[in-house]
Every structure is written in C-alpha cells, then in structure tokens.
C-alpha cells in the first residue's frame, strides 16, 4: 500500500513537472512613449501653457503593462486601462479625476461599425467631380541593419505610408501626407508567447487586429485605401519579431514620396524636442507661419505644383535648406523594456476604492 501511494505521488510530481513549461506565466513590461521633435512641437509647447492635457502630450510617458490570465492592464501616472477577455469589457480609470468607466466589447464593436459607416459616407461625398483624386502607397521593407538593444540583437524594419491628393482641375495641384515608422525587432523576449496568445484571443473576441500598427489604422480610415491596406497586411506577414524600439514620423510629402527614416536623416536641431531654438513663435511678417509649423509646412505642400521650378527642385524630393527631414510635423518614439514573467499582483487589475463610475464616452457615440 505504501509503495502504491509513493508511486502515485511520484507520478503526480512528474506530471506537474512535465506540464509546467506549458503553463502560461504572468507578464510585465514597461513602455516609454515621447514626442522627440517635428515642426509642430512649438505649437504643442504654446498650447501647454494653457492646457494640462497638452502639457502631458509634450512629456515622456512611461506605462506599466501586465498580463494575468485573461486580463491585461496598462497603467501610467494619469490613467489605467484594464481589458478583461472573460468579461468582454474594457475599464478606463482616470487617476487624476478619480473616476472610471466600463465599455463592453459589444458596445465597442457598435461604435467601430458606426465610425466605419460614417467613413464610407464621407468617402461617397468626397467622390464628386470637384474632389481631389487620392492615391495611397504602403510598404514594409527590411534593410538588413542590426543593432544592440538591451543586450539583444535587433533587426530593422521600415514601414512607409503615403497619401497624395491631386486637385481635379487645370491646376493639377498636389498635396500629400506621409508617415514612416522605423522599427527595431527582437526575436525573443520574456513573455512574448503570452503577449501573442492574449492578442490573438483579443483579436478574435473583439474582431480587431491588435498587431496592426497605428499607421495601418490611419490608412484604414481613409476612403479608397483598401488596396494599399491589403498590400500592407501581406507584407506584414513576412515580418517577425517584437518591435522593442519604434520611431515614427508624420509629415508633408508634396510629391508623394516617403519621409526619410530617422536613422538616415536625423531632425535638425531646431526641430528636436527641448531645443531652445523652438519657442513656438514665428515672425509676424511671415503669414503662413503665424499658424505655427503645421500651417507653414502644410501651406507649402498645398501650393507646390506637379512640375516644380528649378529653385524648387530640391524641395520636391523633401530636401530643402533645412535638410531631408524638413517636412516632419511630428516625430515620436516608443520603447519597450524590463520584460519579466514573475507573478503579478491581482490587485493591480481592480478599480481603486472610492472611485466614482461615469458613463463611457463611447456609449454616447
């Protein structure tokens, strides 16, 4: 009898040992996001004088992300978001106001469907004869470049997106916007399997692509961009790894060319965040610039013709006296670090006591 009990105990211990690698551990990592420069930084700094929200936008934000079973929590000093796959809900906690709101997956799906319908209606209205003709291009490429990030070998992938509008009249005026995202990916990090598993289930439950980049979401919101988005998803399938460092630029592209990668064309000193030369003010005799960097850059894009004059030939490719990155309106950087699979505190996924529940803005849409 004693031998049988011992045998059963050994078998139980062996089974536990064999199953241990298959169990999904908790995951914790940190993410820092910040605006690193661009011609709109001056406008943001000016707005920050009057608005606490604008002031927050100009400062680096570090968030802590935790995954515990079917729940994910993303928290920073001002807010916390809790996603519960079992309850099919998203709880938003406003730490500054001591309030929280809850939206269900069904309510979010309804809001997204409504937004998509509105986008189609806007696209139909924009398809009149007087509307500009829009063209889109999206690509993901790999240069083969590598660099060391937190002791890991990261490889570079470059995502480029351009949107070009051509006036449907005799002027043939062109105006365009572009975005470039330089991503550095690692093949392995603690908790990658858990993150992938959570995102896959979230995508199935909510019917959204959580692995899609913000630029892909931006493209999806534009009428007539279906083919470019399809091409982007096809190329994304070839990319593997976790982007632990990502630098994204958004700006003007009068000729429909992609913005240069940050590693190829760094921002000029007066475009960098924190530059003393960037005070947010412009000369009063420069009319376009009275609206800040955005008005000056966009005005330049709107007035440039298809065939530039010799004096404009340099700027037609995005390279003018201010350098190749002169058309960048906003440059931002996101970095992931401190990955861990140590157990997390379940209390982190609870709304703090004393917080008042309010109606989610999404419920009113």
Give per-10-residue mean pLDDT for the chain (365 aa).
44 38 74 92 73 73 96 96 96 96 91 71 56 76 89 92 75 79 93 91 75 55 65 73 94 85 87 58 36 38 38 38 72 95 93 95 68
Task: Give the other-Cβ count within 10 Å of 147's Cβ.
Answer: 12
Distance CA 259, CA 324 (A): 8
SS3 148: strand
Q: What pLDDT does residue 310 have?
A: 37
User: 127 — phi, psi (to 5°)?
Assistant: -90, 15
Question: At a CB cut-off of 8 Å and minimum separation 6, what does 284 contact?
Answer: 290
- Give the angle subtended at the CA of 48 by the CAs of 43 and 53, to the nearest 5°: 115
Q: What pLDDT does residue 18 have?
A: 39
DSSP state of 23: S
Distance CA 193, CA 187 (A): 11
Long-range Cβ contacts of 65-68 (<8 Å, 24+ apart): 65/27, 65/28, 65/29, 65/30, 65/31, 66/26, 66/27, 66/28, 66/344, 66/348, 66/349, 67/26, 67/27, 67/28, 67/191, 67/194, 67/195, 67/198, 67/344, 68/26, 68/344, 68/346, 68/348, 68/349
Q: What pLDDT does residue 273 have?
A: 77
Q: What pLDDT does residue 208 have?
A: 60
CB contact at 8 A, 30 and 63: yes
Distance CA 360, CA 102 (A): 6
Q: What pLDDT does residue 172 have?
A: 66
Strand pairing category for 99-104 and 356-357: parallel
Name the pTM for this structure. 0.72
């Amino acid at each position: 009898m004693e031998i049988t009990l011992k045998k059963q105990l050994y078998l139980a211990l062996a089974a536990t040992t064999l199953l241990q690698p298959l169990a999904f551990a908790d995951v914790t990592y940190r993410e820092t996001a910040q605006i690193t420069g661009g011609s709109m930084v001056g406008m943001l700094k000016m707005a920050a004088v009057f608005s606490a929200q604008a002031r927050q936008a100009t400062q680096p934000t570090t968030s802590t992300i935790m995954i515990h079973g079917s729940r994910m929590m993303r928290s920073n000093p001002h807010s916390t978001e809790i996603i519960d796959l079992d309850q099919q809900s998203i709880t938003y906690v406003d730490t500054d106001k001591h309030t929280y709101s809850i939206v269900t997956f069904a309510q979010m799906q309804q809001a997204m469907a409504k937004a998509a319908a509105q986008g189609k209606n806007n696209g139909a209205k924009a398809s009149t004869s007087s509307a500009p003709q829009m063209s889109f291009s999206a690509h993901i490429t790999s240069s083969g470049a590598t660099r060391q990030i937190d002791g890991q070998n990261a490889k570079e992938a470059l995502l480029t997106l351009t949107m070009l509008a051509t006036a449907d009249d005799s002027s043939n005026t062109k105006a365009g916007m572009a975005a470039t995202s330089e991503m550095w990916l690692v093949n392995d990090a603690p908790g990658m399997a858990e993150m992938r598993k959570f995102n896959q289930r979230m995508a199935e439950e909510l019917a959204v692509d959580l692995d899609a980049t913000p630029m892909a979401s931006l493209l999806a919101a534009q009428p007539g961009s279906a083919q470019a988005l399809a091409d982007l998803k096809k190329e994304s399938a070839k990319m593997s790894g976790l982007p632990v460092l990502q630098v994204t630029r958004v700006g003007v592209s009068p000729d429909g060319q992609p913005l240069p990668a940050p590693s190829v064309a760094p921002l000029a000193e007066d475009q960098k965040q924190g530059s003393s030369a960037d005070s947010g003010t412009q000369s009063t005799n420069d009319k376009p610039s009275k609206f800040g960097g955005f008005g000056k850059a966009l005005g330049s894009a709107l007035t440039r013709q298809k065939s530039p004059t010799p004096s404009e030939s340099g700027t037609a490719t995005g390279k003018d006296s201010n350098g190749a990155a002169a058309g960048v309106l906003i440059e931002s950087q996101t970095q992931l670090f401190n990955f861990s699979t140590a157990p997390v505190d379940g209390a982190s996924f609870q709304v703090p006591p004393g917080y008042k529940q309010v109606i989610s803005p999404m419920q009113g849409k």
